[in-house]
Amino acid sequence: MTTDQIILFALFTAVFAFLLWGRFRYDLVAFSALMIGVVLGVVPVKDAFSGFGHPATIVVALVLVVSAGLVRSGAVFLITRTLVDASRGLGSHIALMGGIGAVLSAFMNNVAALALLMPVDIQTAHKAGRAAGLTLMPLSFATILGGMATLIGTPPNIIIASIRAEAVGTPFAMFDFAPVGGVAAIAGLAFVALVGWRLIPDRGAQVAGAEAVAQYIAELTVPQESPHIGKRLAELDETAEKTDVAILGLIRDGKRRYGRAANAILQAGDTLVMEAVPEALDEFRAALNLDFSDTRRQEVVTAAGEGLEVIEVVVPESARITGRTAQGLGLAWRQSAVLMGISRQGRRITKQVRKTEVEPGDILLLLCPRDRGPDVTDWLGCLPLAERGLNVTANDKVWLAIGLFAAAVLAASVGLLYLPIALGLVVVAYVLTRILPIAEIYDHIEWPVVVLLGSMIPLGAALENAGGTQLIAGSLISLTQGLPAWAILTVLMVVTMTLSDVLNNTATTIVAAPVGIQMARTLEVSPDPFLMAVAVAASSAFLTPIGHKNNTLILGPGGYRFGDYWRIGLPLEVLIVAVSIPAILIFWPM
């Protein structure tokens, strides 16, 4: 081995040792290794930061922003209400979400499939009171597995098809990957849903404190021309139950109806009185297209056009609003804000929220124009609660958000647009249509993940340029001489999987596919089984968060550590090899 190869192999060994140890943050470890590589001369200075502009890094960042836009538009709530039941058992939920993700990723880019379903999974975990980390990794793995079944499902399959065209004269067709990739995907999904999720560490602290979130007595108004006009109030109970909202009663013409008024026929301008946490209140409002307040106040608070935000404040004895009502204080016309709800330490509130005298110790839920929260809080003389990232769903733009995302995925799938460009255009469109406020864009990017990916890509490229991957390929050919066909394919798959866990799957395919063709020529057999082995193995990057963009995407939102992936990923990779080898020998005989 050359000096550069020795240094690079030593760097990769040290990086993975530190990452598995978990004492230091993964972005610090990766960036330190990159800097050492530059200082030692194995990574060219001009390429030191090339990873931060690499398409893989850009896609990860853009997908997180697009996912936030889908959440803010209400698209995630729509999918959650339609397909997902938070009361469903964990294994059943993983099987359902994994099946949907696998089917979607077979016909669209698997990164885009995860981008669509990841916020749905997070929202369901929140509603079920469990850590999102228990389900995000199985979902990521399911979208990777589904992509193996078709030509367009994952980049390695496209590369393999083009390499076959050069070697044999014709590329693989759309569903040529289905017999082997489909078998691997089905076996992998069954493992993930039945066994795999049980191997993921349950860090319950991720949902700790959920019980402490204030329950508010709040009001929402039935707008003019609402489809719910003429229904009985009790007919909204199903939606209320799904969104964890308790409907307490009805206010009409400024007067509270007797009891719960479950049989009252809804009219325009009626106000629903309910108890809920802020997130549930917003989901319920978006589901039924209700207004925050009466028409006049709704127009006042939305006039600025820069978007809305929800804030929570505590009322001290010295506050301007203490002993007064929001209506009497002129909160709507003075500060363009609406009092949405009051939390009063378990005591009941019988009047309209805006006509209720505020007491010291009350927690107020306020709706105001974006970035006006601090001014409104100061004017009221209240104290802000810790920021919890409460957002207002722009439910009138749900189909616009879904349409923009679907158009981008379709354009990328048929080759009209490069995926990073398509996702970038979606982000621009989300900002221009005010689905996602421009001030929030960078808040949704997991910067440690970006640093990890941006640091490891130049190191991987340096290993390839230094001849490290060719060294591995040459050793592989020597090692497999004289072995039976199944053993040769097994070795090829294991080595390709190992490379894919270190490099990205595209680079691994480019390196491993020619090796497979050379092995076929040496044995004087068809190259197809070897190319299929490389295709499946290159996509089977389940041991680390850097082998596949989907694994990198869930690293931050799932609260995972670097060493969490191999717990479920190692037995999954063993299973993929075990079922793929017989399938290859049956469907693509030598």
For residue 54, the 8-state DSSP code is S
- Quick one: pLDDT at residue 24? 82
Under the banding of pLDDT at 50, 70 and 90, the label for residue 210 is: very low
CATH architecture of 306-387: 2-Layer Sandwich (3.30)
Share of residues in the chain with pLDDT > 90 (%):
24
- Quick one: pLDDT at residue 212? 45
pLDDT at 430 over 70: yes
Domain edges within the chain:
7-204+448-587, 214-291, 306-387
pLDDT digits (tens, 9 = 90+) for 553-565: 898 888 888 888 9
For residues 419-443, give the mean pLDDT.
87
- Quick one: pLDDT at residue 388? 57
Candidate from 136-145, 232-241, 346-355 with smallest mean pLDDT: 346-355
Nearest to 290 by CA among 327, 326, 340, 331: 340
pTM beyond 0.85: the answer is no
Torsions phi, psi of 231, nearest 5? -85, 160
pLDDT at 323 over 80: yes
Collapsing DSSP states into helix, strand and coil, what is residue 511?
helix
Return the structure tokens found at 13.
């060994």
Place of tokens 């340029």: 465
Collapsing DSSP states into helix, strand and coil, what is residue 428?
helix
- Quick one: pLDDT at residue 72? 78
pLDDT at 206 over 60: no
- Quick one: pLDDT at residue 581? 95
For residues 39-55, give the mean pLDDT.
91
Q: Return d(Cα 159, Cα 171) in angstroms, integer.
A: 10
Q: Is the dihedral of CA 149, 154, 158, 160 positive or negative?
A: negative
Most confident residue range from 70-84, 331-345, 422-436: 422-436
Under the banding of pLDDT at 50, 70 and 90, the label for residue 354 is: confident
DSSP states along 361-410: T-EEEEEEETT-HHHHHHHHT-EEPPP---B---GGGHHHHHHHHHHHHH
- Quick one: pLDDT at residue 579? 96
Torsions phi, psi of 124, nearest 5? -65, -40
- Work out the mean pLDDT of the chain and round it to a whole number: 83
Type of residue numbered 134: L
Return the structure tokens found at 395.
């439910």
Nearest to 573 by CA among 97, 188, 133: 188
Please list, in sequence order, all residues whose beta carbon lies within 8 angstroms of the beta carbon of residue 74, skipping any fewer than 6 positions away.
286, 393, 394, 395, 397, 398, 401
- Quick one: pLDDT at residue 113? 79
CB 398 within 8 A of CB 80: no
Under the banding of pLDDT at 50, 70 and 90, the label for residue 295 is: low
Q: Return d(Cα 544, Cα 44) in angstroms, integer.
A: 26
Return the structure tokens found at 259.
């009891």
For residue 347, the 8-state DSSP code is -
pLDDT at 205 over 60: no
- Quick one: pLDDT at residue 34? 93
- Quick one: pLDDT at residue 161? 85
- Quick one: pLDDT at residue 518? 78
- Quick one: pLDDT at residue 506? 72
Higher pLDDT, 58 or 76: 58
Higher pLDDT, 486 or 349: 486
Q: Return d(Cα 137, Cα 561) in angstroms, integer.
A: 12
Q: Return d(Cα 325, Cα 537) in angstroms, integer.
A: 65
pLDDT at 305 over 60: no
The residue count of the chain comes to 590
Collapsing DSSP states into helix, strand and coil, what is residue 446?
coil
- Quick one: pLDDT at residue 522? 77
Cα 521 to Cα 129, 159, 495, 528: the distances in Å are: 56, 20, 19, 11
Q: How far is CA 510 from the centre of its chain?
A: 28
pLDDT at 93 over 50: yes
Domain 214-291 has CATH 2.60.40.10: no
Under the banding of pLDDT at 50, 70 and 90, the label for residue 588 is: very high
- Quick one: pLDDT at residue 208? 35
Please list, in sequence order, all residues whose beta carbon lies within 8 angstroms of the beta carbon of residue 561, skipping any fewer than 6 positions away.
22, 26
Under the banding of pLDDT at 50, 70 and 90, the label for residue 568 is: very high
CB 373 within 8 A of CB 311: yes
For residue 320, the 8-state DSSP code is T
pLDDT digits (tens, 9 = 90+) for 163-197: 888 788 888 887 889 999 999 999 999 999 999 88
Place of tokens 């505020």: 358
Return the structure tokens found at 301.
């608070």
Residues forming beta bridges with residue 252, ordered by sequence position: 255
Under the banding of pLDDT at 50, 70 and 90, the label for residue 515 is: confident
pLDDT at 207 over 60: no
CB 278 within 8 A of CB 343: no
Q: Return d(Cα 7, Cα 462) in angstroms, integer.
A: 11
pLDDT digits (tens, 9 = 90+) for 383-421: 887 665 556 666 678 889 989 988 987 888 777 888 789
